[in-house]
């Protein structure tokens, strides 16, 4: 009796499939828990957990295929008349699989990198055979710039959309902003030397680090950047207003603060004494 039960169990493909799923999922859970409790850096933990998930998924697919190969062969023969329809139905899945293999071979990015895929911009937090998961980052935001939105990008977009790795721009960025002021008959170029001096003062604390990081980016990416010296341009708008445009190479986290300081210097120059010797009332009269 026991021999017959054992024989039936060994021939029961559904039981083998359930056993395979349980074993693989338990092993995946134990390894992922072990990695998360380790003292490795957060990105290293993500990479290892990501590898465990991918290998576990691959083991499940191969195991189920090996268990059901005979039934799958018979099934394939029985639906030969519908093969064209099946290919059409699965073309997106196949395209995603091929796109995943293409990205893995190109190694255009890895877990933790900042990338732009088409119009989507974010930090890669997961990448499997079918899709890539991004934690969205506001391309116009400063600081960390996370929007709180998770993007799931199918891997077939790698054949139709450009992929840009922005990992070198995580620490330092080339930040450009403009200040617009209604023209009041004064020469807008009068402020250029003052603003140049103030911008250099605001950037003095990280100037040497910025120069080294700029050279690192140039050597790694094989491009020539515009340099770390701030660039100030005076122009006019379509309405005839004065426009002051400042471009500087600075830490991402400090870009917004520096922009506010420069804007404050700008308006203090026009509406108050640059040395703060005027009272607010005097500054209002000067404007």
- Of the ranges 10-19, 29-38, 71-80, the best mean pLDDT one: 29-38
The pLDDT assigned to 276 comes to 44
| H helix or E strand, kind and range, residue 282 | helix 280-286
Helix (H, G, I), strand (E, B) or coil at 141: coil
Gap between the Cα atoms of 159 and 15, Å rounded = 40
List 180's β-bridge partners, or say none. Answer: 243
Rg (CA), the chain: 30
Instruction: Inform me whether the pLDDT recorded for 73 exceeds 80.
Output: no
The pLDDT assigned to 99 comes to 84
The pLDDT assigned to 147 comes to 80
Domain spans of the chain, in order of start: 1-78, 171-286
CATH fold of 171-286, please? Alpha-Beta Plaits (3.30.70)
Helix (H, G, I), strand (E, B) or coil at 112: coil
pTM, entire model? 0.51
Provide φ and ψ at 5, rounded to 5°: -60, -45
Instruction: Inform me whether the pLDDT recorded for 247 exceeds 70.
Output: yes
Instruction: Inform me whether the pLDDT recorded for 138 exceeds 80.
Output: no
Task: Answer for the pair 223, 164: CB distance below 8 angstroms, yes or no.
Answer: no
206 Rama class: left (phi>0) / alpha (psi -120 to 50) / beta:
alpha
Of 152-156, 223-227, 232-236, the one with minimum mean pLDDT is 223-227
Instruction: Inform me whether the pLDDT recorded for 285 exceeds 50.
Output: no
Q: Whose CA is closest to 245, among 168, 184, 177, 181?
A: 177
Q: What is the average pLDDT across 233-238?
A: 89
- Mean pLDDT value across the chain: 80
The pLDDT assigned to 2 comes to 54
Cβ within 8 Å of residue 175, ≥6 positions away: 142, 247, 248, 249, 250, 255, 258, 259
Q: Whose CA is closest to 266, among 204, 195, 188?
A: 195
Instruction: Inform me whether the pLDDT recorded for 270 exceeds 60.
Output: yes
The pLDDT assigned to 198 comes to 92
Q: What is the pLDDT of residues 175-202, one digit of tens each?
A: 889 999 988 878 889 899 999 999 999 9
The pLDDT assigned to 274 comes to 46
Of 36-45, 65-74, 155-164, 268-277, the one with minimum mean pLDDT is 268-277
Q: What is the average pLDDT across 252-263?
A: 88
Q: What is the average pLDDT across 162-171?
A: 76
The pLDDT assigned to 264 comes to 92
Cβ within 8 Å of residue 172, ≥6 positions away: 210, 213, 214, 217, 249, 250, 251, 252
Provide φ and ψ at 266, rounded to 5°: -60, -50
Q: What is the average pLDDT across 158-182?
A: 82
pLDDT band at 281 (very low <50, low <70, confident <90, very high): very low
pLDDT band at 91 (very low <50, low <70, confident <90, very high): confident
The pLDDT assigned to 275 comes to 47
The pLDDT assigned to 180 comes to 92
Burial class of 250 by CB neighbour count within 10 A (0 to 12, 13 to 18, 19+): buried
The pLDDT assigned to 283 comes to 42
* 267 or 10: which leads in pLDDT: 267
């Amino acid at each position: 009796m026991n021999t017959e039960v054992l024989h039936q169990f060994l021939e029961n493909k559904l039981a083998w499939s359930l056993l395979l799923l349980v074993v693989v999922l338990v092993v995946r859970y134990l390894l992922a828990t072990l990695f998360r409790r380790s003292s490795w850096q957060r990105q290293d933990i993500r990479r290892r957990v990501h590898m465990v998930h991918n290998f576990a998924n691959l083991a499940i697919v191969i195991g189920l295929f090996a268990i059901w190969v005979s039934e799958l062969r018979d099934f394939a023969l029985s639906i030969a008349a519908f093969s064209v329809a099946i290919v059409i139905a699965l073309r997106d899945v196949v395209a995603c699989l091929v796109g995943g293999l293409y990205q893995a071979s190109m190694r255009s990015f890895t877990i933790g990198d900042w990338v732009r895929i088409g119009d989507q911009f974010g930090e890669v937090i997961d990448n499997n055979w079918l899709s890539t998961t991004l934690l969205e980052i506001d391309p116009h935001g400063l600081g960390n710039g996370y929007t709180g939105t998770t993007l799931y990008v199918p891997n077939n977009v790698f054949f139709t959309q450009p992929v840009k790795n922005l990992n070198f721009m995580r620490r330092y960025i080339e930040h450009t902003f403009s200040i617009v002021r209604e023209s009041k008959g004064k020469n807008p170029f009068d402020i250029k030397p003052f603003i140049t001096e103030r911008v250099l003062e605001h950037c003095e604390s990280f100037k040497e680090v910025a120069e080294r990081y700029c050279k690192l980016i140039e050597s790694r990416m094989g491009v020539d950047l515009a340099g770390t010296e701030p660039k100030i341009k005076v122009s006019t708008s379509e309405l005839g207003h004065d426009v002051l445009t400042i471009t500087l190479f600075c830490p991402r986290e400090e870009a917004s603060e520096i922009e506010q300081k420069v804007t404050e210097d700008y308006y203090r120059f026009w509406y108050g004494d640059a040395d703060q010797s005027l009272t607010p009332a005097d500054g209002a009269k000067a404007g």
